[in-house]
Structure 1
Amino acid sequence: MAEDFSCAICGDRHDSLSRDWGYGLPDEVWALSEEDREGQVRFNDDLCQWGERAFIRCILPVPLKGADDYFGWGPWVEVDAEVFARYLELYDEDGREEPPVPGKLANKLEAYPGVTLGTRLLIQFQDPGERPILTLLESDKSRLAQEQRDGIDAARHHEILEICKA
Structure 2
Amino acid sequence: MLLALDSRWRRFNDPDYVSQSGKSFTGVFDIGYDAPDIWPHAVPREADASEVEVGDDKLSADLCRLDGTRFVHCVLPLAIKGSDEVFNFGPWAAVEAELFYAYVDVATGASEGFVGGIAFLMNDLPGFESDDPIACQLIPGAEGQRPRLTALDGPLKSAQSNGISFDQLLDIYAHTGNDVRPHLNG
TM > 0.5 fold call: yes
> Could you tell me whether the CA contact under 8 Å between 2:80 and 2:166 is conserved in 1?
yes
> Which residue number corresponds to residue 38 of structure 2?
28
Query: Larger Cα Rg: Structure 1 or Structure 2?
Result: 2
> Which residue number corresponds to residue 22 of structure 2?
none
Provide the rounded CA distance (Å) in 2 between the counterparts of 1:56 and 1:66.
31
Task: Output the amino acid matched with 1:2.
Answer: A
Provide the rounded CA distance (Å) in 2 between the counterparts of 1:4 and 1:37.
47
> Which residue number corresponds to residue 184 of structure 2?
none
Structure 2 length as normaliser, TM-score?
Answer: 0.71
Provide the rounded CA distance (Å) in 2 between the counterparts of 1:88 and 1:74.
18
Q: Residue 39 of structure 1: CA displacement?
A: 3.3
Where does 1:40-55 land on structure 2 (aligned, <5 Å)? 40-55=56-71
Aligned-CA RMSD value: 2.9
Q: Residue 3 of structure 1: CA displacement?
A: 9.7
> Which residue number corresponds to residue 131 of structure 1?
146
Confirm or deny that 1:67 pairs with 2:83: yes
Using the aligned pairs only, state the percent identity.
28
Residue 3 and residue 98 in structure 1: after superposition, are their counterparts in 2 closer, same or farther (change >3 A)?
farther
Structure 1 length as normaliser, TM-score?
Answer: 0.79
Q: Residue 126 of structure 1: CA displacement?
A: 1.7
> Could you tell me whether the CA contact under 8 Å between 1:105 and 1:116 is conserved in 2?
no
> Could you tell me whether the CA contact under 8 Å between 1:4 and 1:14 is conserved in 2?
no
Where does the alignment leave 5 or more consecutive residues of structure 2 unmatched? 14-25, 179-186
Task: Output the amino acid matched with 2:169.
Answer: H
Task: Output the amino acid matched with 1:52.
Answer: G
Q: Residue 106 of structure 1: CA displacement?
A: 0.9
